[in-house]
Amino acid sequence: MMQWLLFLRAPLGLRRCWKVSGVIALLVGSFAASAQTRQDSVTIRRLYDEALLRGQSYENLRHLTTRIGGRLSGSPQAAQAVAWSKKTLENLGLDRVYLQEVLVPHWVRGAREKAFVRIGRANKQPLAVCALGGSIGTGGRLRAGVVEVNSWAQLAALPVLEVAGKIVFFNRALQPVHSETFQAYFEAVDQRNEGAVQAARRGAVGVLVRSLTLAHDNLPHTGAVRYEEQTPKIPAAAISTLGAEQLSHQLRLTPGLELELEMHCQTLPDVLSYNVVGEWRGQTYPEEIITVGGHLDSWDLGQGAHDDGAGTVQSIEVLRLLKATGLHPERTIRVVLFMNEENGNRGGLTYAELARQNSETHLAAIESDAGGFTPRGFRVEASPAVLTTFQRWRHLLRPYQSDKLSANQRGVDIGPLKTQVKALISYDPDDQRLFDVHHTAADTFDKVNRRELELGGASIAALVYLISRYGL
């Protein structure tokens, strides 16, 4: 306001000079902003060109999945993946590549699980099941009656005598009405996570959980189950969606049927493993860190291609793309391949704790853990001021259809950084097909499309470039 009053009181000639200089300043600023935008557009185009013409994510994924395979924490394959990814990062010529020690759970599945429905003495029908991660074994063959429930309220309403000594069958299906399949998954995952504890409190001897997928097939989906020390541990298995419908139908026909379940899984002592870290120091603000990562471990049924081999190789590719296009980051970029996301998140917890102990300044943390599907954008958890910055960059990502910004980031590994970072970000591809293969034997290399995978790496690299150049 004071500047405006001085302008009105100034002589006419001086006012004209000020007006002219002001217009010139606005024009210069506009031209500078336009030139800056053009430069960013050209740089991002180069990143995408490099990814689509010479991308290495797909071939890296081929090696990780077909040469190493499923990488359950504590397994020999997980150790092989650590060695391979460390060597791959070293080949990029980074400033530093190192390992962070992580003590991880060592659960083993053992011989293949078996389940049968027994109707009478002679009729025995097989069911497609798999042990949930962390479950105890059956100690031979478990044979018991079955009680079906579709909600926690239904379980709580049952008399204890109707549950005691039975196998509780959680048959709550994913709801197909949601446009985002993750929403359906999050609404139903509690029965897998908590089912064994809630059923054991009512005297059950085992639990069977409908697989968390909208697909109708005979693929059981594994995933972690939780126990608590004060409650008896009971065997927990997943059943395929077709198997769940078959069992539900048989229970209506024969309420007194019995189920036979045989699982040989066990938990061994914890094993030393590692997060794999590659660091490229920023040339202007090296103390400000941008973390980019995926989780190196996977479940053991398949090859861990979409979950999370895709995120692993995309994170590595971010650094390769920036180097290949001749860019040098203003801020430090750190790729972290986390260990033990699937059944403990000890890698993510360890990384956040070391960052706190070292008093590091973390600007942003980005995780890719939703499959190697077509890019749509990012999910950002940050202050309103930081979100405004991301909104200003959307037009630069729009030509590549990766400009959608959503709330509620989903990265498990980066979650422990919440109080130490300005923005938590999860890469957000189209999730319609993810839960067809999620945690199953079908999560294999052949299910990943090369172009979709490489586009995802370029999308993440473009966002990392913008954060590195302008900060938050």
Which among 288, 341, 367, 381 is annotated as catalytic?
341
The pair phi, psi for residue 427, each rounded to 5°, is: -65, 135
Neighbours of 423 (CB within 10 A): 23
Beta bridge partners of 118: 124, 258
H helix runs in 378-449, sequence order: 384-397, 434-437
User: Helix %, strand %, coil % for the chain, to 5?
Assistant: 45, 25, 30
Q: Which of 304, 412, 339, 254 is nearest to 73 (CA)?
A: 339
User: Do the beta carbons of residue 308 and residue 295 sit within 8 Å?
Assistant: yes
Interacting residues of 226 by C-beta distance below 8 A, sequence separation 6+: 134, 193, 194, 196, 197
The pair phi, psi for residue 249, each rounded to 5°, is: -65, -45
Tokens found for residue 167: 């196998």
Tokens found for residue 250: 């048989």
3-state secondary structure (DSSP) of residue 4: helix
Is the bond leading into 217 cis (omega within 30 degrees of zero)?
Answer: no
Measured CA distances, 448 to 66, 300, 305 (Å): 13, 18, 7
Q: What is the DSSP string of 8-62?
A: HHS-HHHHHHHHHHHHHHHHHHHHHHHHHHHHHHHHHHHHHHHHHHH--HHHHHH
- Residue type at 229 in one-letter notation: E
**Quick one: DSSP state of residue 92?**
T
Provide the pairing of β-strand 285-295 with 331-338.
Answer: parallel
Q: Give the C-alpha separation, 470 to 43, whole Å.
A: 14
User: Do the beta carbons of residue 168 and residue 207 sit within 8 Å?
Assistant: yes
Strands (E), 369-416: 375-382, 404-406
User: Do the beta carbons of residue 293 and residue 413 sit within 8 Å?
Assistant: yes
Tokens found for residue 423: 């923005």
User: Would you mind telling me the total number of residues written for the chain in this entry?
Assistant: 472
**Quick one: DSSP state of residue 112?**
P
- R_g over Cα of the chain: 27
Helix pair angle (310-324, 12-54), 10° resolution: 120
Active site residue 228: no
Task: Catalogue the active-site residues.
Answer: 341
